[in-house]
Amino acid sequence: MEEKTFTISVYSENNVGLLNRISGIFLKRHINILSLNVSESEIENVSRFIIVVETTEKWVKNIVGQIEKQIEVIKAFYHTDEETIYLENALFKIASSLLFDEKQIQNIIKESQSTIVTVSRDFFVISKSGRRSEIEELYAKFKPYGIMQFVRSGRISVSKEKMEISSLLLEELK
């Protein structure tokens, strides 16, 4: 089977130790987690983990099955990149002098559809939302000028298909 990028969504109660047990499932199978994000979900008191991995469909099915065996997990799903709408966010901290001394910096910001979040005497911060490849491209453009700090979030995603998640979760909770 061919390896692909999969986004795993895990709906769970928010309990201490669950992240450790979930990451252990990947560790046992020697599968690297490419991205991890945990946040509130659309359902009150239910958290959503978004985990991105590169593996085969056989392995991702197996992993989702193991994740669902965790007591706090309500439901887990997996999707391919083609089945989801996804973004990552990044912040770039760059020396303020470059904003005024290097005209190309302003062009890079404008062309990449980035946003200046703050400007101070010593630095300015740029925010960029998009696909990982877009963020990596922007990073490559800023790198020759010097990046003081850089941080990128994990993937956030929603499925393209209609998912009556609230009713599915309510069924699971019964």
The per-residue DSSP string of 140-168 comes to HHHGGG--SEEEEPPPEEEESS---HHHH
pLDDT tens by residue, 54-113: 999 999 999 999 999 988 898 999 999 999 999 999 999 999 999 888 889 999 999 999
8 Å CB contact between 101 and 169: no
Model pLDDT, residue 91? 98
User: At 51, is the pLDDT very low, low, confident or very high (cuts 50, 70, 90)?
Assistant: very high
Domains of the chain: 4-82 (3.30.70.260), 86-152 (3.30.70.1150)
Find the mean pLDDT for residues 155-169: 77
- pTM value is 0.82
Find the mean pLDDT for residues 145-151: 96
Average pLDDT value over all residues in the chain = 90
Model pLDDT, residue 16? 82
Model pLDDT, residue 166? 62
Q: What are phi and psi of 167, to 5 degrees?
A: -70, -35
Using a CB cutoff of 8 Å and minimum separation of 24, what contacts does 80-85 make?
80/4, 80/5, 80/6, 80/7, 81/4, 81/5, 81/7, 83/159, 83/160, 83/161, 84/7, 84/157, 84/158, 84/159, 84/160, 85/157, 85/158, 85/159, 85/160
